[in-house]
């Protein structure tokens, strides 16, 4: 004979089960929050488009589900630019302690409290001063591992110059801060990657900065970065020539024969698949860049003009060779449209995606080296999650 359980007892059991389900769901959410990377953002030049880009990018809550955002600026500077974007929902909490980050909300780390005169579109000492303050706080957080990656908004290279920042840009700054022997400026997009041997160097001085040792150093960093940061098992690297027509075997300059070719041979001795040197005009005109995982250009405009021409709006600047992850959009402060709510955040959004991708790729790479059997599951799951987020937000 079946004994019917009292209704009160049944209700108690149901309530207990519901509580357990709620508790388990909360634990799962907490676990997911703990696994999300913490991505920092510098504000860039206060009079440029940096804060506008941050507001436009982070106001979409769907992308915030993938990471914990921390903006290094001040409430007042954020609110100044938020007034020009009234249709965007940019809710945030102010923090001064990294242990109090809210994983479900935008966090603004107040780097200064004082009133600052913001004049959009104007080159001023104030714009450079507070861009540096933001960068310094963010860098310290990156060094202390309070954040997993940093996306830097554009600075102006003139007004940021000071005793504390005597650099031609972000890339050499991070090289010094993290005390690494060498780094590589890499421009990356869906259909191509371009890296540079020399960065912000006058054209008249480029040749003297092209050495066999420097080219080999860049090739080593690129080879390792493509494996560790982008998941390319056997990277193929194209090396561009310095002179027109790759010097026509020494008729137009000698650097190809005496420097670049020997450096490529050196790279092959280190099991690096490097090829070239290629004449840059024919190389890009014929679409040869699609055959390689990255192209190493000798100087700034040689690589960036074709890159920006072919990757409009989706290019990302990545610093390879650092122990940390740093990305940025592939454009400048855009003073001409600053404060007018006209800035296109496509490149900035791609910089965020790239930072998240590299964080997950590095973790997967480290896990694989510990346990090779986890390779497929780790990488495939991370990539699948990223694609879902991209599709939802684009």
Cβ contacts of 280 within 8 Å, gap of 6 or more: 240, 241, 297, 302, 306
Q: How far is CA 232 from the centre of its chain?
A: 18
Ranges of CATH 3.40.718.10 domains, the chain: 34-180+322-344+351-362, 182-321
pLDDT for position 4: 55
CATH label, 34-180+322-344+351-362, candidates 3.40.718.10, 3.30.565.10, 3.40.50.970, 2.40.40.20: 3.40.718.10
* DSSP-based three-state secondary structure for 356: helix
pTM of the shown model: 0.84
Phi, psi of 354 (to 5 degrees): -65, -40
Nearest Cα to Cα of residue 71 among 44, 101, 108: 108
209, 198 Cβ separation under 8 angstroms: yes
The sign of the dihedral angle between the CA atoms of 359, 361, 176, 351 is negative
Q: pLDDT tens digits for the chain (394 residues)? A: 444 556 655 565 565 456 445 544 444 444 455 589 999 999 999 999 999 999 999 998 888 899 999 999 999 999 999 999 989 989 999 999 999 999 999 999 999 999 999 999 999 999 999 999 999 999 999 999 999 999 999 999 999 999 999 999 999 999 999 999 999 999 999 889 999 999 999 999 999 999 999 999 999 999 999 999 999 999 999 999 999 998 888 888 899 999 999 999 999 999 999 999 999 999 999 999 999 999 999 999 999 999 999 988 789 999 999 999 999 999 999 999 999 999 999 999 999 999 999 999 999 877 766 665 555 454 555 555 555 445 554 5
pLDDT for position 353: 95
CA distances from 214 to 123, 229, 271, 325, 389 (A): 35, 21, 17, 22, 39
Query: Which CATH number describes the domain made up of 182-321?
Result: 3.40.718.10
Burial of 162 (0-12, 13-18, 19+ CB in 10 A): exposed
DSSP string of 25-44? Answer: HHHHHHHHHHHSPEEEEE--
**What token pair was written down for 140?**
């310290």
Nearest Cα to Cα of residue 368 among 227, 261, 241, 273: 227
pLDDT for position 2: 41
Burial of 9 (0-12, 13-18, 19+ CB in 10 A): exposed
């Amino acid at each position: 004979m079946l004994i019917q359980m009292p209704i009160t007892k049944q209700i108690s059991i149901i309530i207990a089960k519901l509580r357990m389900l709620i508790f388990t769901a909360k634990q799962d959410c907490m676990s997911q929050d703990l696994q999300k990377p913490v991505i920092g953002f510098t504000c860039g030049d206060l009079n440029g488009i940096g804060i506008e880009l941050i507001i436009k990018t982070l106001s979409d809550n769907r992308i915030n589900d993938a990471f914990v955002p921390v903006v290094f600026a001040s409430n007042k500077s954020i609110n100044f630019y938020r007034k020009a974007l009234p249709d965007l929902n940019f809710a945030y909490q102010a923090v001064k302690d990294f242990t109090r980050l809210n994983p479900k909300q935008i966090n603004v780390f107040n780097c200064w409290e004082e009133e600052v005169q913001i004049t959009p579109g104007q080159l001023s000492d104030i714009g450079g001063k507070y861009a540096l303050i933001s960068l310094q706080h963010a860098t310290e957080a990156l060094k202390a591992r309070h954040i997993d990656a940093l996306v830097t908004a554009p600075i102006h290279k003139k007004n940021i110059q000071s005793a504390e920042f005597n650099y031609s840009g972000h890339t050499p700054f991070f090289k010094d801060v993290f005390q690494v022997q060498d780094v590589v400026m890499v421009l990356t997009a869906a259909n191509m990657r371009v890296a540079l041997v020399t960065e912000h160097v006058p054209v008249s001085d480029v040749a003297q900065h092209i050495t066999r040792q420097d080219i080999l150093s860049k090739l080593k960093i690129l080879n390792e970065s493509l494996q560790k940061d982008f998941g390319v098992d056997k990277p193929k690297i194209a090396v561009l020539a310095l002179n027109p027509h790759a010097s026509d075997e020494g008729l137009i300059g000698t650097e190809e024969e005496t420097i670049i070719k020997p450096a490529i041979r050196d790279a092959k001795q280190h099991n690096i698949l490097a090829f070239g040197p290629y004449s840059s005009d024919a190389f890009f005109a014929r679409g040869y860049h699609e055959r390689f995982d990255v192209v190493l250009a000798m100087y700034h405009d040689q690589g960036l003009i074709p890159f920006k021409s072919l990757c409009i709006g989706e290019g990302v600047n990545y610093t390879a060779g650092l122990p940390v992850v740093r990305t940025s959009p592939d454009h400048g402060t855009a003073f001409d449209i600053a404060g007018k709510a006209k800035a296109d955040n496509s490149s900035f959004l791609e910089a965020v995606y790239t930072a998240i991708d590299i964080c997950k790729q590095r973790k997967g790479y480290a896990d694989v080296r510990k346990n090779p059997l986890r390779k497929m599951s780790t990488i495939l799951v991370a990539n699948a999650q990223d694609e879902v987020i991209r599709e939802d937000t684009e």
